[in-house]
Structure 1
Amino acid sequence: MYYIIDNFEKKTPSNIAVETVKLACGSSINVYLIETVHDLTQFIGFGKYKNNKIGNVYFRGQTSLYNGSMIPSLYRGKTRLDSITWKYNERINAAIKGKRIFRQYNRAVFEPLIQHYGVRTPYIDLVDNVWVALWFALHQAKAVSINTHEYVYYYDSKEEYAYIILMVSDAREETKQFGVYKGTDTTLVDLRKATPSYFLRPHAQHAYMIKKNVEFPGDCSDLIVGIAKIPTSIGFKWLGSNEFLSLSSLFPAAYFDYGYRILLKNYPEEENAGVVNQYGSIQILTD
């Protein structure tokens, strides 16, 4: 159904190394070693062009391939997907009903929005800006939970390679909710259209969210159509020094991000650190 990039090494004059990895969904995919910005631009364009009759291709930056899996944050490390889904739905419904300010948001928008601010959901984060994807491919995060707060520290990746994952969505049909699109296989949310601009973080990150249209989307690796493998040292040269791609720009403090202030003030705090570890936290603070 989707076109998985399998012959890109023949599309460019560069001498591109190729290796094959197996995805969690059972299929195999080529991983291409990309060492020039021209090849990266063409690789992304190739994936978009070949899938243009199906939908659109978006990007995700990672420091690892995680054994070929693409698991939404809610389900990572979980075996009872039905149980965690039931508990999660209960918490989300309670949050929406508990605060009048949240009732203005369709749940199809509210879930992707709060994931962008720290809560784990069945959605996968994507972007449509290759430089933002590259930033995430070149940075790792460590987190510690203290009471109801989660503290995250981002630092330069120590891995030898960075990865940009291309994922396809067939969600083209516009819904009544601005920014939410439906397809046969996926639901796609453009947070820049779906949420006001005072939620600064998703606008700064050119944020999309994707979810498979199944009850328990435990793995989404079957949506991967291309993988670019970039030497980390080269990636940092490409990224350079740019205020738009600084930590303070991509994760604006609550002083600038008024939407973040709304969430911090109104989203219910979790009861203990164990719950925060399981579901994440709006009260996430980036150092």
Structure 2
Amino acid sequence: MGFEKANFVGSQWVDVNGAKVLHVEESHALIMAAGYLKHNSLEGVYFRGQSNIYPELRPALYRGIDSDAAKYRRESKLLAKLDDYKSKCNCLVKMNDYVPEPLLQHYGLQTTWLDLVDNIWVALWFACHEAKVTRDGHFLHFQKRIVNSDNQYAYVYLVGADLDKRNKGKPGYWNGENTELIDLRIAAPSYFLRPHAQHGLLFRCKGKENGRPLDYSKQVRGLVRIPLEKAMDWLGEGHVVGIHSLFPPAYYDNGYKILLQSGVTFDNKEKYIGVVHSVGA
């Protein structure tokens, strides 16, 4: 695709710890860079906002481990937690079997899926905010990042996922050679409001002989860096880019309320699985 050879007005290529990163100073350059990849790729290209660049792109379930034994142990514990939620939330049982895990990921569980969005401004919002979680993992809050010498940039990952095999019997699900992709706005009903509010998709890499890889960074197609102060200015203060809109309270998000009231408990010995968060808005 030649993304790293492309030139966009208002941007320049920089080297960050050995990675070639597009440094953007104009909002138009951000849109053009995203559009360039979408137009020239046979994949779907989506966005992930982050506060930094990391050497790997791991789903939460696989962070901090390296062995197959640890990987399979966590996957087994996750399946048990999913069964627990299904036994107490009948609405999850009524869904297609590929939906509950990525849906619960959106509400706080740590799974084999990785969050993406197809709205560049939502990605930028996540790059401009940081999550604060209580020690017990129950309560989550987002606050704006503070611009300082150690905290200067917002980053947007451009991630590719296969689109060639959409199964008509599985709405919102694409099963490609290298990845699986789920659009929760199609796969899940809108009484689960959060994924609809966030333009939420999720993907995961498919496994080979040794099972699913721990690191999904092979799907990264580009990295964009924006000065944090400019990114916040571009977002502005509108209601639709506030915590209240992107993380609707349970009063509006009935699916969220069902999960919170399910009675599924948090096991401190299994922090790597997590639980559905209560989000302050």
Whether these two folds match at TM > 0.5 is: yes
The question of 1:70 aligning with 2:57 is answered yes
- Correspondence for 2:268: 273
8 Å CA contact 1:211, 1:217 repeated in 2: no
Name the CA distance, whole Å, in 1 between partners of 2:231 and 2:27. 9
In structure 2, the CA distance between the partners of 1:284 and 1:145, relative to structure 1 (3 Å rule), is farther
Q: Which residue does 2:111 correspond to in 1? A: 121
The 3 A distance-change label for structure 1 pair 262 and 99 is: closer
How far apart are the structure 1 equivalents of 2:171 and 2:65? 32
Once residues 59 and 220 of structure 2 are traced to their aligned partners in structure 1, the CA distance between those partners, rounded to angstroms, is 14
Indicate the residue corresponding to 1:204 in structure 2. 197
Q: What is the CA-CA distance between 1:264 and the residue it aligns to? A: 1.4
Amino acid at match of 2:268: A
Distance in 1 of aligned mates of 2:73 and 2:228: 39
What residue identity is the alignment partner of 2:57? M
The alpha carbon displacement at 1:89 in A equals: 2.0
Please list every run of at least 4 consecutive aligned residues from structure 1 whose deviation after the TM superposition is greater than 4 angstroms. Answer: none
**Could you say which residue in structure 2 is the equivalent of 1:139?**
129
Deviation, structure 1 residue 76: 1.1
Q: Percent identity?
A: 34
Aligned twin of 1:186:
179
RMSD (CA atoms) = 1.8
For residues 147-169 of structure 1, give each alpha carbon's deviation from its aligned partner in whole angstroms, at most 9, with x where no partner exists: xx611121111321000000000
The verdict on how the C-alpha distance between 1:123 and 1:4 changes in structure 2, with shifts beyond 3 A counting, is farther
Kept in 1: contact 2:117–2:123 (CA 8 A)? yes
Give the direction of change, closer, same or farther, for the CA distance of 1:137–1:229 in structure 2 (3 Å limit): same
For structure 2, the 5+ residue unaligned runs are none
Q: Could you say what secondary structure the match of 1:152 adopts?
A: strand
1:103 corresponding residue in structure 2: 93
Amino acid at match of 2:50: Q
- Kept after mapping to 1: 8 A contact 2:89/2:259: no
Aligned residues: 270
1:224-243 residue pairs with structure 2 within 5 A?
224-243=220-239
Match of 2:5 in 1: 7
Q: For residue 64 of structure 2, what is the amino acid of its counterpart?
A: G
Return the alpha-carbon distance in structure 2 between the equivalents of residues 61 and 273 of structure 1: 29
Among residues 141, 145, 148, which one is paired with 1:157 in the alignment?
145
> Post-superposition shift, 1:252?
0.7
Report the Cα distance in structure 2 between the residues aligned to 1:151 and 1:246, rounded to whole angstroms: 18
